[in-house]
Amino acid sequence: MMRPNLIFITLVALLVGLMGGVLLSQTKMGKTVLARESFQPKEFVSAKEFRLVDANDRTLAVLGGHPGKEPFLPIEPALRFYGNNGELVILLGIVPGNKPKLALFDGHGKTIWETP
């Protein structure tokens, strides 16, 4: 007597699953998604500044112009590295006249060494 019950339950489950699939395909799940046929990459990416941050959104490095100068001029690009407390520790960049600059800081904003 258990055998017909098991067959009936299996058939009902299959029928309900089929009906659910048809219903979903006709409502939300039935939408066709088309991929773009071709992708054209941009020639360049532009930004005033690029920041490298860690998982806690702390700034680790910055590539950009000299901060705090108005107007912002891209003639002094620099790579800045920040310590665990968020203070600048290394600056590598180009100053006016196309001269390279390297500066080391103590983590409290005081310069401990820089290129002449």
Domain range list for the chain: 1-28, 49-114
- Evaluate if residue 71 carries a pLDDT over 50: no
Instruction: Report the pLDDT value the prediction gives residue 114, as an integer from 0 to 100.
Output: 92
Place of tokens 């219903």: 23
Residues 6-64: tens digit of each pLDDT: 778 888 888 888 888 777 776 665 556 666 667 777 788 888 788 888 888 887 777 77
Instruction: Report the pLDDT value the prediction gives residue 8, as an integer from 0 to 100.
Output: 80
CA pair distance 115, 102, nearest whole angstrom: 6
When pLDDT is averaged across residues 103-111 and rounded to a whole number, the result is 88
